Amino acid sequence: MTKDDEELHEQAEEIRKETAEGAPEVAEHDRVAELEKLLEEANSKALYAAAETQNVRRRLESELQQATSYAAANFARDMLAIRDHLERALAAVTDELREDKIASQFLAGIESTLREVDSVFARHGISRIKSIGEKLDPHRHQAMVELPSDEEPGTIIEEMQPGYMMKDRLLRPALVGVAKKA
């Protein structure tokens, strides 16, 4: 029996004693009404406690679901650097090197690795943020420079580093150049 229940019982007993001293018929009626009131209060408290328990359970389930969905976020963020290095390595290759038989096999391995990284990202809900031609979104883009352009001011005209999302969360903002009036 909880402390609240004990208090309710003590209150009910006091009321019973007080009303028992008065008229027996009136006392009995008042006593029943008071006991019904106490019962209603106890039921109300029980319903409130049950609702609170259910709310806590729902919140914990939601937090658990989010924790499992985004558990790999830090690892994925670290993998972005590896993907960037692979992309830069391929961008630095000259046409002469691509024509060399040995170098072309090496480059094919790098391209294959990059495709596999992209495949793993896609399986885990990691996607590249579209930037060029978009309006600057401070929740997804980080403006690094303003460049004179004929484009509408605030439009992204250059991407220095791609940004990535993991499902609906930002892993890394895109580093971009934004148009300003010429």
3-class state of residue 140 by DSSP: coil
* Residue 151: DSSP 8-state: S
Average pLDDT, the chain: 88
Provide the CA 110 distance to its chain's centre, in angstroms.
34
Tell me the C-alpha distance between 44 and 42, whole Å: 5
Structure confidence by residue, pLDDT tens digits, 35-81? 999 999 999 999 999 999 999 999 999 888 887 777 788 889 999 99
pLDDT score of 11 more than 80 = no
Please tell me the distance from the alpha carbon of residue 28 to that of residue 20, in angstroms, as a whole number. Answer: 7
Convert the pLDDT of each residue in 129-175 to its tens digit. 999 999 999 999 999 999 999 999 999 999 999 999 998 899 999 99
pLDDT for 17 equals 67
- Burial label for 131, CB within 10 Å (0-12, 13-18, 19+), is buried
Does 20 score more than 60 pLDDT? no
DSSP notation for 23-85: -HHHHHHHHHHHHHHHHHHHHHHHHHHHHHHHHHHHHHHHHHHHHHHTTTHHHHHHHHHHHHH
Contact yes or no for 158/132 (Cβ under 8 A): yes
